[in-house]
Structure 1
Amino acid sequence: MSSVSTPEPGGTRAVRRPRTLKNRSYQVARWLHVYTSMISLLIVLFFSVTGVVLNHPEWTFGSAETRQQVKGTLPQTWKAGSAVDWLKVTAALQKAGLKGTAGDYRADSGGDTLSFRAPGYSADVNIEPATGRYTASVDSQGWVAALGDLHRGRDAGSAWSLALDLAGYFLTLIALTGLAMLLYLKKLRLSGILTLLAGAALVGLLMKLALK
Structure 2
Amino acid sequence: MSTINPSDQPAPLVQPSPNPRPRRTLSAGKEFRRWLAKWSRWLHIYLSMFGLAAILFFSATGITLNHPDWFFEEHLVQLEGKLPVAWLHVDGNPPNDWDGYDLSHEVDKLEVAEHLRAEHRLTGRLSDFLVFDDECEVTFEGPGYASTARISRESGEYTLDVTSNDLVTVMNDLHKGRHTGEVWSWVIDISAIIGVLVSLTGFVLIFFLRLRLKSALLVALAGTLALYAVYWVARG
Confirm or deny that 1:46 pairs with 2:70: no
Instruction: Give the whole-Å Cα distance in 2 for the aligned partners of 1:67 and 1:195.
Output: 49
1:140-179 → structure 2 map (5 Å cutoff): 140-179=164-203
Verify the 8 A CA contact 2:61 2:175 in the aligned structure 1: yes
Distance in 2 of aligned mates of 1:44 and 1:171: 7
One-letter code of the match for 1:91? Answer: E
SS at match of 1:155: coil
1:126-205 pair list within 5 angstroms: 126-205=150-229
Q: How far did 1:75 drift?
A: 4.8
| CA deviations over 1:60-90 (Å, ceiling 9, x no partner) | 3xx6311111222235663443611222222
Corresponding residue to 1:35 among 31, 37, 46:
46
Counterpart residue identity of residue 32, structure 1: L
Equivalent residues in 2 for 1:81-92, closer than 5 Å:
81=91, 83-92=106-115
Which residue does 2:100 correspond to in 1?
Answer: none
> How high is the TM-score relative to the length of structure 1?
0.84
Question: Which structure 1 segments of 5+ residues have no match?
Answer: 1-9
Q: Partner of 2:191: helix, strand, or coil?
A: helix
Instruction: Tell me which residue corresponds to 1:59.
Output: 70
CA distance, structure 2, for counterparts of residue 103 and residue 58 of structure 1 = 27
- Worse-matched range after superposition: 27-36 or 17-26: 17-26
| Aligned-pair CA distance for 1:95 | 1.0
Structure 1 residues 143 and 21: alpha-carbon distance in aligned structure 2, compared to 1, 3 A threshold: same
Q: 1:69 aligns with which of 71, 78, 82?
A: 78
Which amino acid in 2 is paired with 1:122?
A
* Cα distance in 1, alignment partners of residues 175 and 47 from structure 2: 20
SS of residue in 2 equivalent to 1:135? strand
Q: 1:33 to 1:72 in 2, by over 3 A?
A: same
SS class of match (1:125): strand
Mapped partners of 2:40, 2:228: distance in 1: 28
Shift of 1:22: 1.1
Cα pair 1:99 1:116 within 8 Å, conserved: yes
Whichever structure has more strand as a proportion of its residues is: 1
Contact 2:79 2:161 in 1 (8 A): yes
Name structure 2 gaps, 5 residues minimum.
1-13, 93-105
Taking the aligned partners of 2:49 and 2:177, their CA distance within structure 1 comes to: 23
Q: 1:208: how far off?
A: 1.7
Larger radius of gyration: 2
Letter paired with 1:21: F
